[in-house]
Structure 1
Amino acid sequence: MQILYENMVVEWQLPESDVRQVERILWISPNEEYLYSIAMDDDKAFPVMKAYSEYAAGIVSKLCRQVDWINDSIPVIDTDIAPEHLTLRDKSWDTIKDIVLDEPNCYDKNFRGAQIREVQGHTAVHKSTIYRYLRRYWQGGKMKNTLLPHYNNCGSYGKDRTPTEAKRGRPRKFENEPSGINIDEETKQLLRSGIRLFYNTKEKSPLKHAYQKTLEKFFANGYRQEGQVLIPVLPPPEKLPTFGQYKYWFQKEQDLANTLKSRHGKKRYELNHRPILGSSTLESFGPGSRFQIDATVADVYLVSEYQREWIIGRPIVYIVIDVFSRYITGLYIGLEGPSWVGAMMALANTTADKVRYCAEYGIEITEQEWMSSHLPQKLTADRGELEGDKPARLIDVLGVDVENAPPYRADWKGIVEQQFRLVNLRSVRFVPGAIKERFRERGERDYRLDAKLTLREFTQIMIQYVLYHNNNHRMLWYDRNEFMVADNVEPIPYQLWQWGIINRTGRLKKLPEAIVKLNLLPQGEATVTSAGIQFKGVHYGCDLAMREQWFVKARVGKTWRVKVCYDPRSTNEIYLWLDAGRQFEVCTLLDREERYLNKRFEEVDDLLEIERYHGRHHEINNMLAKIDLDAQTKAIVEQATKKTNEALSNSDTSSNQRVKGIRGNRSGEKQLNRPQEAFQLAESRTVEGKSSKDDNVVLPINRDATTKAQEAYIPPADKLSKIKAYLQEDGDEE
């Protein structure tokens, strides 16, 4: 059986009837024989005595049930009550307190009547007023605050008054002050249209300007013409809504969210004005559930590693961070400005051995100081770097689900965006070359001239920042769950990461570093030719191609294509995919392609394009030169033909004789050419500054050379006999 108690509100429902009656129990007798109750929905109700068993039986038989009764007229917090209302409450309480505190006698109508007459005698309060106080006190649950004035019930709160002849609103302070008009439903519709057309726009007009345009468009009686200009004619001020009325109805009916979207755009509203009710941590079950990646241009200028007097500009900072623990898992500092190459380097760093990575920059750490070398389950990024077909292998092969944030929605990556702000506050702003202010005043020193750090030195600073953040940064704002609190886990990224690894496993992915890098590199197709593996105009070779005689096969057969991946920043190597991407072969640049060594593929493309350009540029000159050559050749041929034809016409030699005399003619021509072709060195020889042509000059004799010449000398008679014998042999062969 349910226990009845004082102030309990009970709802009775009669069988086969929709009639309901709600009562409040005011007092229960100690022996539970009877009780007093009062009807809640009756303005003339008085306490009534009823049997306790009636209510108990009604609850058992489900003829009545307990209900919650909330009186909106009773304030909950005293500090919200106006002082004048408290004065009125206390005055009412002093009137009835001697009556209501005498229970249960106050519920007897005879005793209550005598008490009310006594109160009337020394307070001069009307009897109906005292009864109203008593009824309000009892129906409100016997609380003192029920006697507060119910001013909220005055004037039909929340309902617009019906316009009449009388002007609504406050009285005017000055006689000639415009009073405006009564705003009816038709006028309100015009004001709404004016706000929609002239205020809720991307022009972001002030409300005063929107009010003016509303009067011009909807309240003008006509136009007057001044030259070529039409000027709206408005009614007198007393027949127009005032700006105060326009502002009142604007504020009263304003849809703030719609106004902000209309004036600033939906994207800007989502970024700067939408309610922030969620938490990024709720989207992540544990370490590796979701990483966020983003890039920014660091607010610092750097100098060259090779020429420190050269300023090379501002570096690009990529950060990959775990949403659950805020543990920074990947970092890239370079000059590859936000692009797939920079994102690729940062993602590759997430799987890299951090001990070896830090050692490359002269920083010695233990594995516990930076232990992440994994891929996440999901990766949230910008639309730029990870949009398109480039991250397809990241999704299909490496099993990482990529989510791109909408445009202008940096708040979707709020965790990594916050890291960029913290980097500037903690480290970057204090180093030389840092940007102090976005805009310099005239006469101030150019902060770019203060640059002192190289890219390597700035990377060392960033690594130290990551180590501090991961191992020491205490996030006071981090919402630890009850299990973290029970395990005494501090809100430090390292401890959160460790706790998540133990208690929220199964999200991190571990793959070989080489496989990850290969899948992040851009892919392409190379052609196996007899000159090597050709890719983007550059030729490569590898041990596999030599062992399997690819180049021989390509020369005797046809060329074929192979799948490769490459680093756009270096032409020195490409990587041949084998076994469906599970293995790879390194292909190196051939020796004859030395001019492409240590170049970027973009530079190679530029070089080849320049060569093609020069080739196209010289095609016309080459053609003109060939035309000149052909003309010169034709002229010589024509002249030679003319001379030969004249000689033939004057000769009696037959065609047969001409053909048979070729060898003899050749030998004779050779003998005639030899004196002309012989080297004449004596003409240019000088002795002690005098020419060798001088008859008085005696040339020194080289004895050894003279002896050799005498041994090789052939007398003219013998030489002539040899020539005749040679010609005789030629004649026999003819």
Structure 2
Amino acid sequence: MSMQPLYENMVVEWTVSDSEERFIERILWISPSKDVVFSIAMQDDKAFPVMKTYSEYVVGFESHLCKHVEWINGNIPLIESEIDSLDLHIRDKSWDAIKEVVQDEPHCYDKSYRGARVREALERTGLHKSTIYRYLRRYWQGGKLKNALLPHYSNSGGYGNEREPKGKKRGRPRKFEDAPTGINIDEETKQLLRSGIRLFYNNKDKAPLKHAYQKTLEKFFATGFRQDGLAVIPVLPPPEKLPTFGQYKYWFNKEMDLEETLKSRHGKKRFALEYRPILGSSTYESFGPGSRFQVDATVADVYLVSEYRRDWIIGRPIIYIVIDVFSRYIAGIYIGLEGPSWIGAMMALANTTTDKVQFCAHYGIHIEAEEWVSSHLPQKLTADRGELEGEKPSHLIDVLGVDVENASPYRADWKGIVEQQFRLTNLRSIRFIPGAIKERYRERGERDYRLDAKLTLREFTQIMIRNVLYHNNHHHMLWYDLNEFMVADDVTPIPRDLWHWGIVNRNGRLKKQPEHIVKLNLMNRGEATVTAAGIKFKGMHYSCESAMREQWFIKARAGKTWRVKVSYDPRSTNEIYLWLDHGRRFEPCTLLEREERYLNKRFEEVEDLLEIERHQGRQQEVNNMLSKIDLDAHTKAIVDTATKKTNEAIQHSEVSASKRVKGTREHRSTEKALNREQEAFQLSDKNSVNESTKNNVVSLSRNENNEKKEAYIPPANKLSSIKAYLQEDGDDE
């Protein structure tokens, strides 16, 4: 007899020989390799999931120690439409408290991991710990159904039937006689309560319900007002003629439109992100491979060290993943330090068209071509608004034919497939890497996980490539919805098999473009100016073969400058790429040698440098102006003094203007002779010169007859006579 096959939610009854005791449990999860099983006891209100081996059940069924039994939960309605709206509200509130815990299988069955997630739920919801665990047990024991969280009072008499108000007060009797009993709520009173809720609770102020109750009484139940100083105080009837807060809360819960309340209090954007029901599928409009790729980035929960100095911690890397929606096949990745930004998205998209054999070989990983076959662009690309919004991705549509769809604001859930891939990657590998972030917040005294960082960016990329190869070729997606044609063709829900099946049967929507064309279109675009000094772009000058061959720089100097379109990678100033023939070809332009200081820089760094220099230039202009003011002041002072002295000398000399002009040449000669005495180089001490040699002839050279040529030095008394002559008032002719 073959063993009863195990499956999730199966209820198993264990019996013990010679005993009437029975133990009933529900199977919660079975590992894909069929070696581990998690289950929970059904009749224990303090039960937790326990781990067993698959072999225990094999032996149990073979030895008739256990058997499969049917379990009918009478607390769970069979028809959704029969459930009261208040019960649905309670159910949804309970589900919201535990959904982030139970959806993380099988980690939610681990005690330590579950405890950490429960603590997060406590902080988020404000519920008591016992309440959270009660919800978890009801969910697991109820077959992992959301409706298992419905309240268990459906068999109470008269439930759901609204009673007409009569003379006697309805509702639960008060515990104390002097407690306010409230009033019977008729249709008119209900309308007042509805108005109060709409005015004072469903608004952006997010006031507590009790505050809304108070304001409702003041506005709709006041019988008058009294003035106390400047204050005008509403006058309310006696408590027995007012609805109590309990009644207000009851009717609030009974008639509340939860969606409208959440939108009013939190806004439509936050409602769409956090509260909107997820009814659709992430595979919308995905006909085959390449119909739609999803791209998104996350900061990896691990710290890395420098490739060049392993004692340097360089922080956490950015992971970009591009995944095919139809097959879940990862088409491209980028692991680096850029982003999340357009640059990171650009690198990931470029990787989708890269030959993956060469890409893996660059990281020392040898693969066969069929192990990672994608080197294509998709028909549509779903991305986050941050990276693919604006003008930058427009050429994806215009040139590469890729239709870019940005997720609506606050709707990251539209990229659920790639988000799920991030989670799986973290669970598979990242959390076990040295330097990984185990918990979001460290306890005091715990070791800083950043100090455990051991891997470089290259080594981490190697791990991520291995993850992609595993996912594409071996990840068995039990949850994948195979259509009838896939089932007929016996397709295994592995990304590789789904990809190949889609290529054959759905033709796919993949696009092929040369890698350099894709990269060129993913780069930033700009305009450069052809000048006599080179192709000027962002303050730097470049040159290329076409410019030299066609004498662009000579033409620019002889005529005027003109502008050309270029592409550039903002991470490197070494090259820009010139578009030629209306974009049909391109040519690289290299930085000129005289611009060496800009080599191997980022464009942002150069822009900062030029801005600093411009700032320094503007500051220097101010300094120059201040110095020029100082210079002009000194010049004016000297000119004024000289003018005064000269005018006085002319006035005293009484020499005519014509005589002053005619004597210019002789006066110049005399001035020159006087200046020579002052300007002549004198290397020896004047006092030590022999008086007998002052008027001697100095031999300079010999003529053909060896006769000495002599230079005559005028005696000192002659210079004195020249000075005296200049002081005479005689005719200079």
Per the normalisation by structure 1, the TM-score is 0.67
245, 248, 253: which one aligns with 1:246: 248
1:626-648 Cα deviation digits (max 9, x unpaired): 23333444555566677778599
287, 291, 294: which one aligns with 1:292: 294
Q: Which residue pairs with 1:396 in the alignment?
A: 398
For residues 674 and 302 of structure 1, the distance between their equivalents in structure 2, rounded to whole angstroms, comes to 79
Q: Which residue pairs with 1:30 in the alignment?
A: none
- The residue type equivalent to 2:200 in the other structure is F
Q: Which residue pairs with 2:435 in the alignment?
A: 433
SS in 1 for 2:370: coil
Q: Which residue pairs with 1:606 in the alignment?
A: 608
- Indicate the RMSD between aligned Cα atoms, in angstroms: 3.8
For residues 323 and 709 of structure 1, the distance between their equivalents in structure 2, rounded to whole angstroms, comes to 104
* 655 and 176 in structure 1: CA distance in 2 versus 1, 3 angstrom threshold: closer
Q: Which residue pairs with 1:717 in the alignment?
A: 709
For residues 564 and 359 of structure 1, the distance between their equivalents in structure 2, rounded to whole angstroms, comes to 31
Q: How far apart are 1:536 and its partner, in Å?
A: 0.7
Is contact 2:502–2:508 with CA below 8 Å preserved after alignment?
Answer: no
* 658 and 601 in structure 1: CA distance in 2 versus 1, 3 angstrom threshold: farther
Q: How far apart are 1:303 and its partner, in Å?
A: 2.1
For residues 450 and 710 of structure 1, the distance between their equivalents in structure 2, rounded to whole angstroms, comes to 93
1:225-263 Cα deviation digits (max 9, x unpaired): 677666655433432334443343333322222223233
For residues 216 and 442 of structure 2, the distance between their equivalents in structure 1, rounded to whole angstroms, comes to 43
Q: How far apart are 1:524 and its partner, in Å?
A: 0.9
- Report the more deviating stretch, 638-647 or 552-561: 638-647
Is contact 2:327–2:496 with CA below 8 Å preserved after alignment?
Answer: yes
Matches within 5 A, 1:585-596: 585-596=587-598
Q: Which residue pairs with 1:256 in the alignment?
A: 258
Matches within 5 A, 1:529-608: 529-608=531-610
Q: Which residue pairs with 1:309 in the alignment?
A: 311
Aligned length: 551
For residues 555 and 472 of structure 2, the distance between their equivalents in structure 1, rounded to whole angstroms, comes to 56
- The residue type equivalent to 1:326 in the other structure is R
Q: How far apart are 1:658 and its partner, in Å?
A: 5.2
- The residue type equivalent to 1:717 in the other structure is K
1:38-97 Cα deviation digits (max 9, x unpaired): xxxxxxxxxxxxxxxxxxxxxxxxxxxxxxxxxxxxxxx998699xxxxxxxxxxxxxxx
516, 519, 522: which one aligns with 2:518: 516
Q: Which residue pairs with 1:424 in the alignment?
A: 426
SS in 2 for 1:580: coil
Q: How far apart are 1:213 and its partner, in Å?
A: 4.0
* 674 and 371 in structure 1: CA distance in 2 versus 1, 3 angstrom threshold: farther
Q: Which residue pairs with 1:349 in the alignment?
A: 351
Matches within 5 A, 1:352-391: 352-391=354-393
For residues 427 and 338 of structure 2, the distance between their equivalents in structure 1, rounded to whole angstroms, comes to 24
For residues 643 and 244 of structure 2, the distance between their equivalents in structure 1, rounded to whole angstroms, comes to 110
Is 2:260 aligned against 1:268? no
458, 461, 464: which one aligns with 1:459: 461
Q: How far apart are 1:675 and its partner, in Å?
A: 9.4
Is contact 1:515–1:582 with CA below 8 Å preserved after alignment?
Answer: no
For residues 186 and 218 of structure 1, the distance between their equivalents in structure 2, rounded to whole angstroms, comes to 11
Structure of greater Rg: 1
1:493-516 Cα deviation digits (max 9, x unpaired): 111111111111241111011111
SS in 1 for 2:369: coil
Is contact 2:295–2:382 with CA below 8 Å preserved after alignment?
Answer: yes
* 625 and 484 in structure 1: CA distance in 2 versus 1, 3 angstrom threshold: same
* 181 and 518 in structure 1: CA distance in 2 versus 1, 3 angstrom threshold: same
SS in 2 for 1:325: coil
For residues 676 and 462 of structure 2, the distance between their equivalents in structure 1, rounded to whole angstroms, comes to 79
For residues 317 and 363 of structure 1, the distance between their equivalents in structure 2, rounded to whole angstroms, comes to 19
1:426-454 Cα deviation digits (max 9, x unpaired): 22211122222222222222222222222
Unaligned runs of 5+ in 1: 1-76, 83-151, 684-692, 696-707, 721-734
* 159 and 377 in structure 1: CA distance in 2 versus 1, 3 angstrom threshold: same
Matches within 5 A, 1:129-168: 161-168=163-170
Matches within 5 A, 1:445-524: 445-524=447-526
Q: Which residue pairs with 2:622 in the alignment?
A: 620
1:294-345 Cα deviation digits (max 9, x unpaired): 1112212222222222222222211111111111112112222221111111
Is contact 1:290–1:378 with CA below 8 Å preserved after alignment?
Answer: yes
* 223 and 299 in structure 1: CA distance in 2 versus 1, 3 angstrom threshold: farther
SS in 2 for 1:581: coil
* 596 and 81 in structure 1: CA distance in 2 versus 1, 3 angstrom threshold: closer
Per the normalisation by structure 2, the TM-score is 0.68
1:527-573 Cα deviation digits (max 9, x unpaired): 10110000111000001000000001111111111111111111100
Q: Which residue pairs with 1:336 in the alignment?
A: 338
Matches within 5 A, 1:58-77: none
Is contact 2:703–2:709 with CA below 8 Å preserved after alignment?
Answer: no
For residues 571 and 682 of structure 2, the distance between their equivalents in structure 1, rounded to whole angstroms, comes to 58
Q: How far apart are 1:187 and its partner, in Å?
A: 0.6
* 229 and 543 in structure 1: CA distance in 2 versus 1, 3 angstrom threshold: same
Is contact 1:382–1:405 with CA below 8 Å preserved after alignment?
Answer: yes
* 238 and 592 in structure 1: CA distance in 2 versus 1, 3 angstrom threshold: same
- The residue type equivalent to 2:354 in the other structure is A
For residues 191 and 176 of structure 2, the distance between their equivalents in structure 1, rounded to whole angstroms, comes to 29
Q: How far apart are 1:172 and its partner, in Å?
A: 6.1
Q: How far apart are 1:593 and its partner, in Å?
A: 0.3
For residues 352 and 516 of structure 1, the distance between their equivalents in structure 2, rounded to whole angstroms, comes to 10
For residues 604 and 207 of structure 1, the distance between their equivalents in structure 2, rounded to whole angstroms, comes to 58
Is contact 1:317–1:334 with CA below 8 Å preserved after alignment?
Answer: yes
Q: How far apart are 1:525 and its partner, in Å?
A: 0.8
- Report the more deviating stretch, 653-662 or 518-527: 653-662
398, 409, 417: which one aligns with 1:415: 417
SS in 2 for 1:485: helix
* 457 and 613 in structure 1: CA distance in 2 versus 1, 3 angstrom threshold: same
- The residue type equivalent to 1:621 in the other structure is N
Q: How far apart are 1:290 and its partner, in Å?
A: 0.8
Identity %: 73
Q: Which residue pairs with 1:13 in the alignment?
A: none
- The residue type equivalent to 2:609 in the other structure is L
Q: How far apart are 1:373 and its partner, in Å?
A: 1.1
1:350-376 Cα deviation digits (max 9, x unpaired): 111222222222222222111111111
Q: Which residue pairs with 2:444 in the alignment?
A: 442
SS in 1 for 2:567: strand
- The residue type equivalent to 1:617 in the other structure is Q
For residues 666 and 360 of structure 2, the distance between their equivalents in structure 1, rounded to whole angstroms, comes to 88
For residues 173 and 431 of structure 1, the distance between their equivalents in structure 2, rounded to whole angstroms, comes to 60
Q: Which residue pairs with 2:408 in the alignment?
A: 406
Is contact 2:702–2:709 with CA below 8 Å preserved after alignment?
Answer: no
* 334 and 716 in structure 1: CA distance in 2 versus 1, 3 angstrom threshold: farther
Is contact 1:374–1:508 with CA below 8 Å preserved after alignment?
Answer: yes
For residues 450 and 689 of structure 2, the distance between their equivalents in structure 1, rounded to whole angstroms, comes to 77
* 659 and 326 in structure 1: CA distance in 2 versus 1, 3 angstrom threshold: same
- The residue type equivalent to 1:273 in the other structure is Y
Is contact 2:296–2:384 with CA below 8 Å preserved after alignment?
Answer: yes
For residues 716 and 642 of structure 1, the distance between their equivalents in structure 2, rounded to whole angstroms, comes to 52
- Report the more deviating stretch, 561-570 or 310-319: 310-319
